[in-house]
């Protein structure tokens, strides 16, 4: 099943068993998340950061892969934080997510997709009416032009179906490599690394790369990990960046991977103060999705206007 798509209903005669399994999975994920947030102890700088002894490339690769394994334990429920039910909805939501939060996009798209459920519908939209629906996401005029343009291209050039190849996706108006990788990885199961703001700053903070250009970052990180890990690695890193390893004040004292981090100490190292910096399910707050996956241990986000 593709991430973000609703789970299939249980087979006839087994609704109680399916519900119990979903409840058990969510409880297990919640327990693991709570354990990571509550039991995290102040870490120490990574051993590789000894004065006068630069970390070798091999040592960096080993440390990077260990961080990925640790993140998989901390965030077994990591997922794309945009609500979607099909490739077209994910594509549109990703375009809308530029310069705004996934939460704001998720609060905006229910009304948008109710009005324009298919590429054909959106291609025929009256620009001013579409702009009004997506106004909360910001830059609504430029985004409306992109949405109408990409919808028309999908209708005219791809038979009304979102293409499943990178080379095709990047021909669509408003779609770059990052957006294409999001769609490929989460709607088509094609591995890809998504270099957004969070991903880029964390991999530089962890000294996996010094590159600033997203495509160069993608290439260097892709060389460190097996292709099968690319999509989930992206989710885990972004999850960690949004919850613990913040841009301005990372919660170093509450970070479970602090012993592996060469930048430990850039943020708050006091455990109690650091725990107050945790966000979303790690901090007992609602998540960004109105319809999160069944195993997400936190609370759903509120609809637009509900707080």
Q: Which residues are catalytic?
A: 178, 196
**Structure token pair of residue 200:** 């880029």
Phi, psi of 6 (to 5 degrees): -60, 145
List C-alpha distances in Å: 133 to 9, 38, 120, 156: 32, 41, 17, 24
Torsion of CA 85, 86, 87, 88, to 10 degrees: -90
| Contact criterion met (CB below 8 Å) for 234 and 292 | no
Q: Crossing angle, helix 197-205 and helix 230-243, to 10 degrees?
A: 90
Burial class of residue 197 (count of CB atoms within 10 Å of its CB; 0-12, 13-18, 19+): exposed
- Cβ atoms within 10 Å, residue 1: 8
Q: Are 105 and 26 in contact (CB under 8 A)?
A: no
Q: How far apart are the first and last CA of the chain?
A: 32
């Amino acid at each position: 099943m593709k991430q973000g798509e609703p789970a299939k209903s249980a087979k006839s005669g087994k609704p109680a068993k399916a519900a119990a399994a979903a409840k058990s999975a969510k409880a297990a994920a919640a327990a693991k998340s709570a354990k990571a947030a509550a039991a995290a102890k102040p870490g120490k700088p990574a051993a590789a950061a000894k004065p006068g002894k630069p970390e070798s490339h091999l040592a960096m690769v080993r440390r990077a892969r260990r961080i990925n394994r640790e993140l998989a334990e901390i965030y077994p429920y990591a997922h794309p934080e945009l609500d979607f039910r099909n490739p077209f909805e994910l594509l549109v939501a990703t375009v809308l997510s530029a310069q705004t939060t996934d939460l704001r996009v998720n609060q905006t798209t229910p009304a948008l997709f109710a009005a324009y459920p298919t590429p054909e519908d959106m291609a025929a939209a009256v620009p001013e009416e579409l702009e009004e629906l997506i106004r909360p996401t910001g830059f609504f005029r430029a985004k409306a032009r992109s949405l109408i343009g990409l919808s028309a291209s999908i209708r005219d050039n791809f038979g009304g179906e979102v293409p499943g190849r990178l080379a095709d996706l990047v021909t669509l108006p408003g779609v770059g490599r990052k957006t294409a990788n999001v769609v490929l990885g989460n709607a088509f199961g094609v591995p890809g690394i998504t270099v957004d703001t969070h991903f880029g700053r964390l991999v530089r903070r962890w000294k996996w790369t010094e590159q600033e250009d997203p495509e160069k970052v993608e290439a260097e990180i892709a060389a460190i990990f097996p292709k099968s890990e690319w999509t989930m690695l992206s989710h885990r890193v972004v999850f960690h960046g949004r919850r613990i390893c913040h841009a301005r004040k990372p919660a170093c004292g509450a970070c479970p991977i602090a012993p592996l981090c060469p930048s430990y100490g850039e943020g708050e190292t006091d455990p109690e103060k650091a725990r107050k910096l945790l966000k979303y399910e790690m901090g007992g707050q609602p998540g960004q999705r109105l319809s999160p996956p069944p195993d997400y241990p936190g609370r759903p986000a509120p609809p637009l206007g509900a707080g």
